Structure 1
Amino acid sequence: MILSLQHLSLPIEDPVLKFFLVLVIILAAPLLLNKIKVPHLLGLIIAGAIIGPNGFNVLSRDSSIVVTGTTGLLYIMFLAGLEIDLGDFKKNKWKSLGYGGYAFIFPFVLGYLGAYYLLGFSVLTSVLFASLFSSQTLITYPLVSKLGIAKNKAVNITVGGTMITDVATLLVLAVVVGMVQGDVNTAFWLRLGGSFVVFGLIVLLIFPIIGRWFFKKVDDKISQYIFVLVMIYLAALLAELAGVEAIIGAFFAGLALNRLIPHTSSLMNRVDFVGNAIFIPFFLISVGMLIDFKVFFNSPDTLIAAGIMLVASIGGKYISSVVTQKTFRFTKDEGRLIFGLSSASAAATLATVMVGYNIIISETETGEPIRLLNEHVLNGSILLILISCTISSFVSMSSAQKIADTENDATVAGNNHDQENILLAVNYEETIERMVNLGILIKAHTNTEDFFAVNVINEDKNESSVKNADKLLGYATEVAAAADVKLTALKRFDNDAVNGVYNVIKEQQITDLIIGLGDLKGFSSSFAHNLYSGYLQHNHVNVYVYQARQPLSTIKRYTVIIPQNAQKDAGFFHALVRVWNIARNSGSTMVFYAPNAIISILQRIIKKSNIEAELIIMEEWKDAEETVTKIKSDEGLIIFMAKRGMQSYNPRMRLVPEFLNRTVPDKNYLLIYPFSEYPVDGNERRSVGNHDDFIEIGSIIKRVFK
């Protein structure tokens, strides 16, 4: 027999059979539990309890489970830092600090009172016991992220507050352990504070520099993903060396790489996919393996301790979420979502309990150890993990779904007014990936079928031309699919390339056309002729001319130049939405140079948005040329242009292509030609420039930037 009795003995030790069983659980849990409305996250924890050493002992919680599970825990914290909207986080930093204070103080007070007055613990033990409930594990964050509300303000401050509560909890642990061991003095505080500051500076300042250099030099997709894993573990290791828990390092790594991994990029899709498919489920199963139901029937003291722990943890988190909701005027669903996200206790709680359990204060007369945290607290923490994760899963799923439905309803109302059908005119293989990435970046929604690529073939249907078109379009489709975006590939046969593109624009009702400049060609005279005599003749399409010399993710800031009277052009606000999407999806800072009238408009918009922007008044178009020459490495350029006859047109705009070839041949730049006529009832057109039109398009901006 190929499978011997040794392979079938329990616990299973054969690595192939063990991994196969875990994969079957990961596969089956969502399929079975979704039918009865039970979050699969909870199902994985229960499955871990059933097959673990305290259940049927099918699998042991050995080093392989622990290592993979630890990666899953680090992954959860890394994704939380990676997906957080830094612009929104900066604007809401005081709210995050306020919520973090509530989430730490209320559970801590309840836990201390229960430990000191009901369980009779000493002051130091009571402080450590109370700190267990202040920490929180974002175990349901992947569920919330999948619903598309990771950028919701309530989620944002909960993630930021989690960093505060976990750091505070682990600092309490470090201080209590130091006091028990008699090591707390001035040197202790200087060492802890200094090492934490050094750790933070290394990760937040040096990691982005390393990441930007790596992504510029290395195009291989596998190497980029492995690099991300290296950064996660390096940050976790540095955190441990600094005296704090590894999960804090993973969260900081997410913040450090936040702007280098755009939320709509193929790399982000790979990071998210592997984490949710393998590492995070392994972590949930490993948590379940710690649960031992038998201990609750063997000792009433364990049940008493567990009851106090549940009241302190879940009650404290509920109070903090209600107070946060009232303080910052969140909706009831957002308040419940804060409670759902924060009520799960797993990572830092386990870390603190295990440290306290392993510290022996003294011994009894019989030689048995007296621990800082006894076995009743250890076993009670297992019940706390199970119940808190159950509550967290149900509450988070319910409230997050309601918020997602509300946001979707609000978005649907504006879809017909701000249609986006984006077309890429692909001609050069070296430009395809950059054009696809730009197209994804400017899209408001990545899950819609409004993304196209076209290659025009001469009508003689030369076989090599057809093969080349298939190759280019296949590559474009592949790049888009890597970011989980559907791209429709179109081949057109026409003697004139511009005419072929124009036919696609009419057939697919294209709103935005992206044209890429070849690496070696730049802004050639033939391209300029096709642009001015062909592409720009489509009056109802935004045209983008794009030159990319480095990956979009490595651009730290963009210089955006807007000419006089641009707000009076029909397509200005629609084009501005695309620029805003670049800022939101990449995290780059936008530096707007514009006349005072447009600066006033931008100021009103920025107040209601979450991008990082600077506003600089520039009244004369000639000043733009001096601004362009000052662009540094890792910076990009965006210029709003205009066709002859538009209100923002300036004769010097005809000199821009030659000027760019001369001054920024090695920089990324994007020329935007907004459409000049606004479509009404199909074929009828009208010029947009009056007050009513301004209000109409302004309302679009408000909906998109909400």
Structure 2
Amino acid sequence: MTILSATMPIVTDPVLIFFIVLVIILLAPILLNRLKIPHIIGMIVAGIAIGPYGIALLNRDASFEIFGQVGIIYLMFLAGIEIDMFHLKKNLRRGLGFGIYTFVIPMVLGTLTSVWLLGFNWLTSVLLASMYASHTLIAYPIVSRFGLTKSPAVIITIAGTIVTVLGALIVLAIIVGIYQTGTFNTTEVLWLLTRLVIYCIIVVYSYPRLTRWFFKKYNDNITQFIYVLAMVFLASVSAKMIGLESVLGAFYAGLVLNRYIPNTSGLMNRIEFVGNAIFIPYFLIGVGMLINVKVLFASWTTLYVATVMSVVATLCKWVAAWITQRVYKMDKIDRSIMFGLSNAQAAATLAAVMIGFKLGIFNEDVLNGTIVMILFTCTVSSIVTERAAQRIKLNLLTETANSDKTGMSKIPMPGNYKKNRTLITVSNPVTAPALVDFAVLMQPPFKKKDSELFALHVRNDNSAGSRAIGRNSLDVAISTAASADVKVTAIERYDLNVVTGLVNTIEERDITDVI
């Protein structure tokens, strides 16, 4: 039995398929919150249950192929665009160190265990070890939900991810070349690296210039959102055309566009919303639909291979995180985050095993064992990351509470702790969106709950035209703030002139900042 066989699905209507997926995305978090199980596991388990190897309610058709591929690209793009570039530069050396550890250790241990325990030849063993070395940031939405994307351990893991994926890609190219030609082709590997360098130079040179021009010329929210998605998928397609993984292109596009999309902007809010609401859950459900739990009982050989693969892949990632923690003198909780994020196998692993199976390098036992390994590592990754993220968040809250009692904060926070009451003066609907966006960016993330925004329009006549302009200006301000998940209180005021109305409003509302 292989993962390539399946029964006919019960549901084939596109509308009903999409409805079922939306119901899963809606109910999985609600039900799993009560069981204290990470949402990601729920999505994968739901995919197993409704997929061709469960009750066969749905088949993994073209929609799951498309949305699943978009989901993993979106996931890597979010990882790149949410990185704080200051902290990335600060932790780049450690990130590269972790990347080397989490690539070399699985390559060495994976190759040796495949030869000694599974009895494979050296060529098959090296390719199998490269699957252990790569990983997918399946659990990244968990740390994002806890607001830990700027944590050093998270940034180190993301930097290490690029090292492992790129390394696994190079190993795959070498092994396929040796298998097809019988010799190691140094020229092909050097040409791949040359294409990578040229690709990076073109993107880093063209994307910033084009983005600055586009954002200056077009300030419509939807237009900017579509532009960003187009640039991300252009980078992904271009990466695939030169022999790289599309996820590398998406991540690199996120890094390049990082400075042009602030984390607290309305555009960033829309990007995160679409990805977390549709594309990423679709990808996770699609991963679950690939998993055939019955293969565990197909034969003792399959069970043995699956067990060895799962244990070795998990052990290698833990050892890499442990060594990184010891070398760089990090906390144990940081080790848990690095291990949790780097343990999941999905995108690159699936690509490698399918190529190896089609070429005849892998047999059916490895193919089925890979699917079991994906389920096992994704489950471990989600549970470990969720628990570690909760502990880090709890520690941060405890430190904040202690600092409030002692008056000495252990967490550096700019500015004072006075409640922010920001007044935005809007005169017409054209300039209102830019002023609101600027006001939202001015709010420190840790003080959002203690901040209030007011939009003020002052008029000195009661004509219908003046009233319409004022009401429209305030409506636009409220709508712009809502797109960034921020509440704005509208104030329409009649006064002698704008200055008088502004000064009186400042005094009446105890305003601290005026934009």
Q: Same fold (TM over 0.5)?
A: yes
Distance 1:254 1:29 in 2: 29
Partners of 1:106 and 1:185 in 2: CA distance: 24
Equivalence for 1:149:
148
Superposition map of 1:169-318 within 5 A:
169-182=168-181, 184-318=184-318
Residue of structure 1 equivalent to 2:487:
486
Q: Report the CA distance between 1:409 and its aligned residue.
A: 4.3
Cα shift readout 1:422-449 (whole Å, capped 9, x = no counterpart): 2212223332222112111121027424
1:288-346 per-position Cα deviation (integer Å, ceiling 9, x unaligned): 01111111101111111112112221111111112222222332222211111111111
CA deviation digits over 1:397-428, x for unaligned, max 9?
11112222333444563687354222212223
Distance 1:297 1:244 in 2: 36
Contact 1:108 1:312 in 2 (8 A): no
Aligned to 1:430: 430
Does the 8 Å contact 1:171/1:244 carry over to 2?
Answer: no
User: Which structure has the highest helix share of the two?
Assistant: 2
Q: Which residue of 2 aligns with 1:404?
A: 393
Q: How far apart are residue 118 of structure 1 and its match?
A: 0.9
Q: CA deviation at 1:254?
A: 0.9
Q: 2:459 aligns with which of 451, 457, 460?
A: 457
Residue in 1 that maps onto 2:350: 350
Q: Is the 8 A contact 1:205 1:256 kept in 2?
A: no
The residue type equivalent to 2:63 in the other structure is S
Q: How does 1:508-657 map to 2 (within 5 A)?
A: 508-514=509-515
Q: Tell me, yes or no, if the aligned pair for 2:240 and 2:246 is still in contact at 8 Å.
A: yes
| Partner AA of 1:266 in structure 2 | G
Task: Tell me how far apart the structure 2 counterparts of residues 411 and 470 of structure 1 sit (CA, whole Å).
Answer: 41
Q: What is the deviation of 1:461?
A: 4.6
Q: Is the 8 A contact 1:50 1:56 kept in 2?
A: yes
Q: Is contact 2:25–2:281 with CA below 8 Å preserved after alignment?
A: yes
The structure with more radius of gyration: 1
SS in 2 for 1:333: helix
1:450 counterpart SS class:
strand
Query: How far is the alpha carbon of 1:463 from its aligned partner?
Result: 4.6
Match of 1:395 among 381, 384, 396: 384
- Give the equivalent residue in structure 1 for 2:322: 322
Distance 1:505 1:340 in 2: 49
Counterpart mapping for 1:356-367 below 5 A: 356-359=356-359
Q: Is the 8 A contact 1:84 1:156 kept in 2?
A: yes
SS at match of 1:429: coil
Figure out how many residues of one structure are paired with residues of the other and give that number.
494
Native 8 Å contact 1:333 1:399 kept in 2: yes
Distance across 1 between alignment mates of 2:9 and 2:154 = 43
Structure 1 residue 153: Cα displacement: 1.2
Structure 1 residue matching 2:490: 3-state secondary structure: strand
* 1:469 pairs with 2:470: yes
Match of 1:378 among 348, 351, 367: 367
Q: In structure 1, what residue type is equivalent to 2:331?
A: T
Secondary structure in structure 2 of the residue aligned to 1:10: coil
2-side partners of 1:335 and 1:506: how far apart? 51
C-alpha offsets along residues 201-241 of structure 1, whole Å, 9 cap, x if unaligned?
22222222222222222233323222222222211111112
CA distance in 1, matches of 2:347, 2:371: 12
CA drift at 1:72: 0.4
User: Is the deviation greater in 440-449 or in 82-91?
Assistant: 440-449
8 A contact 1:111–1:308 mirrored in 2: no
Q: CA deviation at 1:189?
A: 2.5
Question: What are the Cα deviations for residues 137-186 of structure 1, in whole angstroms up to 9, with x where unaligned?
Answer: 11111121121111111111111111111111111111111111126334
Cα deviation code 1:61-111 (max 9, x no counterpart): 122211111100111011111111112212221111011111112222221
User: Structure 1 residues 267-276 or 210-219, which shifts more?
Assistant: 210-219
| Structure-1 separation of matches of 2:390 and 2:208 | 34
Cα distance in structure 2, aligned partners of 1:481 and 1:105: 47
Equivalent in the alignment of 2:501 = 500
Asked if 2 retains the 8 angstrom alpha-carbon contact of 1:166 and 1:348, the reply is yes
1:462: how far off?
A: 4.6
- Matching residue of 1:93: 92
Whole-Å separation in 2 of the counterparts to 1:226 and 1:175: 38
Matched-pair contact (CA < 8 Å) for 1:139–1:344: yes
Contact preservation (8 Å) 2:199, 2:239 = yes
- In structure 2, distance between residues paired with 1:485 and 1:328: 39
Q: Distance in 2 between matches of 1:213 and 1:457?
A: 35
The one-letter code matched in structure 2 to 1:395 is V
Aligned to 1:636: none
Residue pair 1:447, 1:486 contacting (<8 A) in 2 also: no
Structure with the bigger percentage of strand:
1
Say yes or no: does 1:13 pair with 2:2.
Answer: no
Report what 1:4 is aligned to: none
- Equivalent position of 1:656 in the other structure: none
Greater relative contact order (CA < 8 Å, ≥ 6 in sequence): 2
1:80 aligned onto 2:79: yes
User: Any conservation in 1 of the 2:432–2:476 contact (CA below 8 Å)?
Assistant: yes
What 5-or-longer segments of structure 2 have no aligned partner? 1-7
- One-letter identity of the residue aligned with 1:469: G
Aligned partner of 1:357: which letter?
F
Alpha-carbon separation, structure 1, partners of 2:146 and 2:509: 29
Q: What TM-score, normalized to structure 1?
A: 0.67
